[in-house]
A and B are shown apart, each in its own frame.
Chain A
Amino acid sequence: MNVRVREPRGALLLSAFIALIFQVVPLPGWLSIVRPAFLVIVVIYWSIAAPRAGGLIVPFACGLALDVFRGAVLGEHALALTLVAFLTMRFHLLIRNKPLFEQALIVFAVLTLYEFVIWCIDGWSGHTLNSGLRWLHPVTGGLLWPIFYGVLSRTHRPR
């Protein structure tokens, strides 16, 4: 009964590292605006698929890495990413059993929440930017969710 499932920690760390590189690699003009938040989506995926593999420490560490690369206030992306990971972990059984289309909608909502937290902290720390373009990446993230799901679910044995 007490079957020990091997948690896909290696796949999690490797995919998070690759996603970090994809998220900070410089892209020209419009591409950088519509670029999905790779790291956030990967964190969401692992929170749903293997909530016990990374815990909250991996999202926290990923967020700190983003803070350093983006030159943001330390803790900004870390807070947003930990919140997103916590919510998706809390409801991972619900989300996991939804069809891909509904999952994409949920991912869109979660990414918007993430950007909202960032926006609030940006405003508090005095980096207010009244550009609507920042709300664009959750859309591409939601649209690309099936691809992320397809690629990432191949890296481990699904349960």
Chain B
Amino acid sequence: MITFGGSGRAVHSRVAATGLRFSFYAALCVVLMFADQRGHWLDYARYALSAAAYPIQLAVDSPSAAWHWLRENFATRETLQADNARLRAANRELELRTLRVEALETENAALRGLEAALPDVAERWLAAEVLEVEVSTLRQRVIINKGATDGVFKSQTVLASGGLVGQVMRTGPWSSEVILITDPEHAVPVQVLRSGLRTIAVGQGNTGVLALPYLPVNSDIRVDDLLVTSGLGGVFPAGYPVARVLDVGRDPGQPLAQVHAQPLAAIDRDRELMLIWIRPGHPAAPLPGEEAAR
């Protein structure tokens, strides 16, 4: 047997040991995968690991955070004034729009025969900042800087200023992963606001497009129709805007229409997202006990 001078270790035993160790690690990986996939026993381990990953996520985010900080701190007087004027105008417009909301709410309650107007479906809001964006054709996810210690929970609705953005997929102690509505693995139950038609909007792996693949050729849908969440599926509350129809292709030879819609929220540009807590028992709240819409 060949040995290294004096060490007494055989060449072959070293190679065999590597093979043995590899089998050990491979078996460990397979056990981990089964435990994670089939049993969901590893939720605590994942929770701890995502806590360990949080500093690295912060480090990865630090260049863009520094850039934003610099831009905010060295903004010129002119840009600030322009921003201020724009925000004032937007605020005035919103004020004018909400002037009649209270009157409409009481009217609506009267029409429905209710004692008092219903409160908003969202009970509480929390603003979260995007730490890390993973936007490619394969995955559309973002990491946000709010986690289970802030009360964030799995399959919570995530909104941005324009409309629906996605849902919380996994929570860590200080951060959580949000799957966007444009992820190829995500589908949102939607309703056409104009006609009440219900369907499903599926992500395409492109931040600008959602597909509506399950609509018959003769269905009542037009370009510029607004799609809102339908409240079915048990995840999203009803009535939040999702997307606007971009194009409707009707080929008489095909049973289904080719419909595409553009998400209303600026999914790849917004750094600030809103998490909402739904008032339980509200008519617009998703029905509990239903399977998640993933």
Q: A residues bordering B, Cβ < 8 Å?
A: 1-2, 20-21, 24-26, 28-29, 32-33, 55-57, 60, 63-65, 68-71, 73-76, 78-79, 82-83, 86, 89-90, 121, 124-125, 127, 129, 131, 133-134
Q: Give the contacting residue for B6; candidates A2, A21, A129; CB below 8 A.
A: A2
- Chain A residues with CB below 8 A from B114, complex form: none
The smallest beta-carbon distance between B59 and chain A, in angstroms, is 7
Query: CA separation between A20 and B170, bound complex, in Å?
Result: 21
- Chain B residues with CB below 8 A from A33, complex form: 136-138
- Chain A residues with CB below 8 A from B184, complex form: 129
Q: Give the contacting residue for B170; candidates A55, A71, A79; CB below 8 A.
A: A71
Query: Are B53 and A68 touching (Cβ within 8 A)?
Result: yes
Q: B residues bordering A, Cβ < 8 Å?
A: 4-7, 15, 18-19, 21-22, 25-26, 28-33, 35-37, 42, 45-46, 49-50, 52-53, 56-57, 59-60, 132-139, 141, 169-170, 177, 184-185, 205
Query: Are A21 and B29 touching (Cβ within 8 A)?
Result: no
Query: CA separation between A148 and B208, bound complex, in Å?
Result: 35
Q: Using a Cβ cutoff of 8 Å, how many contacts connect chains A and B?
A: 109
Query: CA separation between A79 and B28, bound complex, in Å?
Result: 9
Query: CA separation between A82 and B138, bound complex, in Å?
Result: 24
Known: A56-B18, A75-B29, A75-B33. A65 touches B53 (CB 8 A): yes
- Chain B residues with CB below 8 A from A26, complex form: 60, 132-135
Please name the 4 residue pairs, one residue from A and one from B, whose CB atoms are nearest each other, closest first: A75-B32, A79-B29, A1-B5, A75-B29
Q: Give the contacting residue for B138; candidates A57, A68, A129; CB below 8 A.
A: A129
Query: Are B138 and A20 touching (Cβ within 8 A)?
Result: no
Q: Give the contacting residue for B132; candidates A24, A56, A68, A127; CB below 8 A.
A: A24
- Chain A residues with CB below 8 A from B138, complex form: 33, 129, 131, 133-134
Query: Are B59 and A21 touching (Cβ within 8 A)?
Result: yes
Inter-chain pairs besides A21-B56, A71-B170, A78-B25, 9 sampled, C-beta below 8 Å: A2-B7, A33-B137, A55-B21, A56-B25, A74-B35, A79-B30, A82-B25, A89-B18, A133-B137
Query: Are B49 and A82 touching (Cβ within 8 A)?
Result: no
Q: Give the contacting residue for A56; candidates B21, B50, B57; CB below 8 A.
A: B21
Known: A2-B4, A82-B29. A74 touches B42 (CB 8 A): yes
